[in-house]
Amino acid sequence: MAVLNGYSAYLLNLYFFTEIAVSPNNNVVDIYERKGKDWIKIHELSEHSGHITGIDWAPESNRIVTCASDRNAYVWTLKDGVWKPTLVLVRINRAATCVKWSPLENKFALGSGARLISVCYFEKENDWWLSKHIKKALKSTVLSLDWHPNNILLAAGSADFHCRVFSAYIKDIEDKPGPTAWGAKMPFGEVLLEHKDCGGWVHSVSFSPSGDQLAWVAHNSSISVADAAQKKEITLLTTDRLPLTSVLFVSPTEMVAAGHNCCPYLFTYTGPGALEFVKKLDIPKQTSKGSMSAMQHFRNLDMRATEDDSNELDTLHQNSITQLCIVSGEKARVEKYSSVGLDGAMVIWEFKH
């Protein structure tokens, strides 16, 4: 595994081969390149005026999309060694919260606090990105997004305790889609799934490699799977851990999830009612316990919510994990994935099938 330290608070990351784009809790995106065992800063993207809330890097077209609390989004293209931004007309009156490229990279979806999703596509005539809005059913901030493998369906988790699947079909740029297990009629904005009681904010959503299953994690410490191949039956597993904030399919039946317990966990889903916790994927750190002052004991309790007198948690991350991303491989067989957390660390993990 590899670890990148030195950032405070919220950290976002995406990969393109040997490079990484991160936002160190401000309005700037730093791009690092890996040289040997070191990460060297090679670019800085500084068009946003507000706190950056989302980054996604398209591996085939080599474009980066960013969004921020300034209600703007930019698509960055590398030209002559310089990353240049293109304007995106997202048309929102609240902060953007998340952004995700579609599998074919011809459009992307952006969630916001405006209770809508902007599905953006490129218009060559004016050299900018236009957007169409999905507003139906959304009652609060959109917190997470993920695309179906067919490039049409879009899953969204929101702060209204709902998880939904929409059609994001844009007839101007793509052929009419065929039927799927989620539904046959797919005009833009059509709701194909609406699970109304997720038990809390839906922090993260992830389609399976086939697209027939959708997993999500909510703030009530639960992980759920909706199975379109089984009449959209919902399987819920409530854990005894702190809430999970990110979930990622790493094979057709396996998911990695992580959150406020500071380490990734492995879950399996093999059918309705068969969602199970498998194991903790972190390697426990060896900590030495010694004499400690009352003040240090209080600080540990305040920072980590534990009475443990050890100087560090027995996990590689020392604070909540906020995001998981695929580094190499595909959802059908992920080889490496990354995690970033509130401790300012990025970790690249090898997944052994």
Q: How many angstroms separate the CA atoms of 183 and 145, rounded?
A: 19
When pLDDT is averaged across residues 264-291 and rounded to a whole number, the result is: 83
Q: Would you say residue 329 has pLDDT above 80?
A: yes
pLDDT at 300: 67
pLDDT at 6: 40
Residues 110, 67 contacting (CB under 8 angstroms): yes
pLDDT at 344: 87
Beta strands 2-4; 13-16: pairing state: unpaired
Q: How many angstroms separate the CA atoms of 110 and 121, rounded?
A: 11
Element (H, E) at 13: strand 13-16
Span 2-281: which CATH code?
A: 2.130.10.10
* pTM (predicted TM-score): 0.89
Cα 39 to Cα 13, 23, 166, distances in angstroms = 14, 15, 39
Residues 159, 181 contacting (CB under 8 angstroms): no
Q: Which of 205-219, 260-274, 299-313 has the lowest mean pLDDT?
A: 299-313
Identify the band that residue 307 occupies on the pLDDT scale cut at 50, 70 and 90: low
Identify the band that residue 289 occupies on the pLDDT scale cut at 50, 70 and 90: very low
pLDDT tens by residue, 125-167: 888 999 999 998 999 999 999 999 999 999 999 999 999 999 9
Domain residue spans of the chain: 2-281
Strand 275-280's sheet: what is its strand order? 244-249, 254-259, 265-269, 275-280
pLDDT tens by residue, 170-209: 999 999 999 999 999 999 999 999 999 899 999 999 999 9
pLDDT at 313: 84
Token pair in block for residue 51: 């706190």
Identify the band that residue 292 occupies on the pLDDT scale cut at 50, 70 and 90: low
Q: Which residues of 275-311 are buried (b: 16+ CB within 10 A; e: fewer)?
A: beeeeebbeeeeeeeeeeeeeeeeebeeeeeeeeeee
pLDDT at 198: 95
